[in-house]
Amino acid sequence: RARDKGRNTYQIYAPSLNVAAYKLYTMEKDLRKSIAAKELFLVFQPRVEANTGKIVSAEALVRWEHSDWGVISPKEFIPLAEESGFISEIGDWVMEQVCMYIVRWEHKGLPSVPISINISAQSFLRNDWLAIIKKILNKSKVDPALIELEITESSLIHYQETISEGLQTLKALGVRIALDDFGTGYSSLSYLKDYPIDTIKIDKSFIDNIVDDVSDQTIISAVIQLAKGLKKRVVAEGVETAIQLEILKGYHCHEIQGYLFSKPLPDHEFQTVLQSKVLQPNSSNVLEENIL
């Protein structure tokens, strides 16, 4: 009986498993070619001042347009890139692109705001990485203060020494450092003391339930107080509703990043938004169909 069941299960699931495995294999192979094939591109999600909606910075987020599959979410391909070690090449590419955009926007006379870049812990483990960052900054002549590097809290549990030294070097260059997805890793308060962190980004998972979960309310307001006491910027990620915004304003959260103000935007739309300087909260953004 058990064997029959096993055999049936095998017969039912084997084909789809093969398709999934094949897709994963192909995806990894294609991902390695994506930079040269010019299939990667960036979108920019504004970060606004909570009280005014003024655009104070933006996060660069990578997208991959595959020739057969269309636009693939980073939630799908970033883990694959992490696994295959390709992530640090993507990181270098993103850094170069961001500097290129900053220079272009400056030439057009657009207001200049700092741009955040997501950095994998793997980059810190490469001994040429800091030199590459320096080189990109020097070559592009971008003011390092216009670059903020985001590192996730969960990546800090490994290679603490290497990452800590790397962050000190980066700080000395003049770039800013943000702690991403705060609250989802092994939240250790000593990170906030030991690492040169300028900005704390509270993860969306805490914001999601802020309206009715008293524990999340308590945690968020405490994190905001803590960040302020330590003289760090604090950003709430994934804000989608006006009520969430009101609660966060009540806690005196500095900045908001979320669909309520804007989804990640392609370059030309981001330029328009930069030009306008201020965004209005608009909950219908959330419903808007947007593959980016």
Residues that bind ligand C2E (CB under 6 A): 45, 61-62, 73-75, 78, 87, 90-91, 94, 118, 120, 150, 180-181, 237-240, 257-259, 264
Count of CB atoms situated within 10 Å of the CB of 226: 14
Q: Which of residues 5-64 bind Mg ion (CB under 5 A)?
A: none
Residue 179, burial from CB neighbour count under 10 angstroms (0-12, 13-18, 19+): buried
Nearest distance in Å: CB 18, ligand C2E: 27
The answer for residues whose C-beta is within 8 angstroms of residue 135's C-beta and 6 or more apart is none
- Binding pattern to Mg ion, positions 99-118, x when CB under 5 A? -------------------x
- Binding to Mg ion in span 240-259, by CB under 5 A: none
Phi-psi region of 5 (alpha: psi -120 to 50; beta: other; left: phi over 0): alpha
If the CB atoms of residues 19 and 246 are measured against ligand C2E, the closer one turns out to be 246
User: Mapping DSSP to helix (H, G, I), strand (E, B) and coil, where does residue 6 land?
Assistant: helix
Specify the residue, 78 or 220, whose C-beta has the smaller distance to ligand C2E.
78
Judge whether 92 and 255 are in contact, CB under 8 Å. no
The one of Mg ion, ligand C2E, none whose footprint includes residue 238, by CB under 5 to 8 A per kind, is: ligand C2E
Helices 74-84 and 2-34, axial angle in degrees (round to 10):
80
Q: Print the binding letters for residues 152-191 with Mg ion: x by CB under 5 A, - otherwise.
A: ----------------------------xx----------
Is residue 147 within 8 Å of residue 175, measured between CB atoms? yes
Considering CB distances under 5 to 8 angstroms, the limit depending on partner class, which of ligand C2E, Mg ion, none binds residue 73?
Answer: ligand C2E
C-alpha distance across the termini of the chain, in Å: 48
**Min CB(264)–ligand C2E separation in Å:** 5
Task: State the nearest-atom distance from the C-beta of 10 to ligand C2E, in Å.
Answer: 35
Q: What is the DSSP letter of 112?
A: P
Per partner kind, with CB cut-offs from 5 to 8 A, the member of Mg ion, ligand C2E, none near residue 258 is: ligand C2E
**Considering beta carbons, is residue 106 or 209 the nearer one to Mg ion?**
209
Q: Are 223 and 235 in contact (CB under 8 A)?
A: no
In the chain the beta strands, taken as DSSP E runs, fall at 40-49, 55-66, 70-72, 115-118, 147-152, 176-182, 199-202, 233-237, 255-257, 265-266
153 binds, among Mg ion, ligand C2E, none (CB under 5 to 8 A by kind): none
Choose the one of Mg ion, ligand C2E, none that binds residue 114, judging by a C-beta under 5 to 8 angstroms depending on kind. none
Partners of 227 in the β-ladder: none
- Residue with smaller CB distance to ligand C2E, 7 or 46: 46
Quote the CA–CA distance of 58 and 46 in Å, as a whole number.
4
In the complex, minimum distance from the CB of residue 148 to ligand C2E, in angstroms, rounded to a whole number: 12
The entry of Mg ion, ligand C2E, none that residue 130 binds, CB within 5 to 8 Å by partner kind: none
The contact set with Mg ion (CB under 5 A) reads 118, 150, 180-181, 237
